[in-house]
Structure 1
Amino acid sequence: MWKTLAIFAIGDLHLSFNKFVKLDEINPETDIEKPMDIFGWLNHYDLIRDHWLKQVRSNDTVLIPGDISWAIRWEQAQYDFDWIAQLPGRKICSPGNHEYYYHSKKKIREALPEGIEWIDADYTVVEGAVVAGTRGWSLPGDPFYQEETDRKIYERQAGRLRLALEAAQKDHPDKEKIVMLHFPPITKHAKESKYMEIMKEFGVTLCIYGHMHGKSAEDAIQGEVDGIDLRLVACDALKFCPARLR
């Protein structure tokens, strides 16, 4: 049974290992593809590893809200999750928009290494809190949102968040509620959303999200909004260092 001392978060790891490697034996020329180099993320997995090892202990928890692996198939993604599994702590993952290897919650839960959990439209318990998760989606009002193609996904993801929080409220009505999304629940272009409405309805106190990088990360809305503490935890925005939440 886990005894959580601290809760951390870091998303958008964007790993791409092509075989199993030990934490301290990575050869960037042979062991990993490098799709993030074009964004200036040079050997970013080393930075994640080093910061993680300095901060996270074996009985801490790390929330990882999506865009974990570039893999297309699970046979590729397993190397990235095996690498994460070697790091200390309990890891709780939820999907992003680049989880191409993810087709079945049941199958991925059966395949994940020990110490890694997967939540999507449901929740898990972390000490005195419940953590509910789903992917989220682009918001009406955002520049890249297209009503004809995005509305259905947006509504479906809002429904999945509601399912997760309804179950959490039913089972653990007195516990603090934390939400992990991949997409932000509001942006400077979309100052309200169904995600925010649902979180307010269920008394969520903290929402972490990723997805926003570079200039968009500078514009991310963070801090308390309508009683909910919003935090961007995309790894580059955190300088590749897990952020302590609790």
Structure 2
Amino acid sequence: MLNKGSGRALSIYAIGDLHLSFNRPVSLYDVNFETDVDKPMDIFGWERHYEQVRDRWIETVRESDTVLIPGDISWALKLNQARYDFDWIRQLPGKKVMSPGNHCYYAQSKKKVREVLPEGMEWIDADYTIVEDRVVAGTRGWNLPGDYHWDEETDRKIYERQAGRLQIALEAAVKDHPDRERIVMLHFPPVTEKSKSSLFMDLMKEYGVSLCVYGHLHGRAHRDAVEGMVDGIRLRLVSCDYIDFQPVLLELQE
């Protein structure tokens, strides 16, 4: 079966940075903005953004499709509260593959996150899954050396650790599935206009990654995004305010 209007048999979408904050179980159309949302995003200009995500997701994604969500899914501090956001996402069409962002404080243990995820949802972090016969590997990523927010003393160790986690994921993916196309989910960008190289890009080139989706950049930071083909890897920023809250169809190898 083909995507609606795409002419493609494969159907993988991406959208990041949902930043949900429901404080009780809610359905897609049963949310009281005044009482059910702990951290409204309206202060950032994202007016009732969960409604925009809902409507555009439903217009775009079918049950047979898969949506990649690279980080900052929920503002929840505890896993028990993040479950409300996971359940809201569950009600949207399609299978979902998620990975952590810098605000996913509830995700200290991927084992525990996986234990509470609803059916049809996956969590990857320093590992991979198979989607539409493609390998999808993921981890969080981090600030890049030379970028605006880089602090050598505090960031270097985390940056190198996150690069190591991506290498673990890609090594396993290549060993297990050497002939499949490789896609990477990062939350932080692998390069920016200010930081033109990184360990993440080096690893993706080494392991033959064809496509990387990332988020994290919002508002004025959109101008720092690097997209398109870079050293043979297609880069795509999918933070939800950048893509107008609508999941984007990814360009895959034939």
Q: 1:25 deviation in Å?
A: 1.5
Conserved 8 A contact 1:94-1:118? yes
SS where residue 143 of structure 2 aligns?
coil
- Distance, in Å, in 1 between the alignment partners of 2:144 and 2:40 is 27
What are the superposed Cα offsets for residues 193-230 of structure 1, whole Å, 9 maximum, x if unpaired? 00000000011000000000011112210000000000
Structure 2 partner of 1:195:
200
TM-score (norm 2): 0.94
Letter in 2 for 1:10: I
Letter in 2 for 1:197: D
What are the superposed Cα offsets for residues 33-73 of structure 1, whole Å, 9 maximum, x if unpaired? 23312101110000000001011011100000000000011
User: Which stretch of structure 1 is more off in the superposition, 36-45 or 226-235?
Assistant: 36-45
User: Which stretch of structure 1 is more off in the superposition, 217-226 or 34-43?
Assistant: 34-43
Letter in 2 for 1:136: G
Conserved 8 A contact 2:71-2:187? yes
SS where residue 62 of structure 1 aligns?
strand
**2:170 pairs with 1:165:** yes
Where do 5+ consecutive residues of structure 1 fail to align? none
Conserved 8 A contact 1:12-1:67? yes
Structure 1 partner of 2:70:
65
SS where residue 184 of structure 2 aligns?
strand
- Distance, in Å, in 1 between the alignment partners of 2:229 and 2:23 is 40
Report how many aligned residue pairs link the two structures.
Answer: 243
Conserved 8 A contact 2:22-2:36? yes
Conserved 8 A contact 1:5-1:59? no
**2:231 pairs with 1:226:** yes
**2:138 pairs with 1:136:** no
SS where residue 125 of structure 1 aligns?
strand
Aligned alpha-carbon RMSD (Å): 1.0
**2:81 pairs with 1:95:** no
SS where residue 27 of structure 1 aligns?
coil
Conserved 8 A contact 2:194-2:224? no
**2:47 pairs with 1:42:** yes
User: Which stretch of structure 1 is more off in the superposition, 231-240 or 100-109?
Assistant: 100-109
Structure 2 partner of 1:119:
124
List structure 1 segments (4+ residues) > 3 angstroms apart after TM superposition: none
**2:38 pairs with 1:33:** yes
**2:85 pairs with 1:80:** yes
- Distance, in Å, in 1 between the alignment partners of 2:40 and 2:33 is 12
Letter in 1 for 2:222: A
- Distance, in Å, in 2 between the alignment partners of 1:165 and 1:182 is 16
Where do 5+ consecutive residues of structure 2 fail to align? 1-8
- Distance, in Å, in 2 between the alignment partners of 1:36 and 1:26 is 15
Instruction: Specify which of 18, 23, 26 is matched with residue 28 of structure 2.
Output: 23
SS where residue 189 of structure 2 aligns?
coil
Q: 1:128 deviation in Å?
A: 2.2
Q: 1:5 deviation in Å?
A: 3.9
- Distance, in Å, in 2 between the alignment partners of 1:5 and 1:89 is 13
Structure 1 partner of 2:242:
237
- Distance, in Å, in 2 between the alignment partners of 1:49 and 1:14 is 13
Structure 1 partner of 2:3:
none
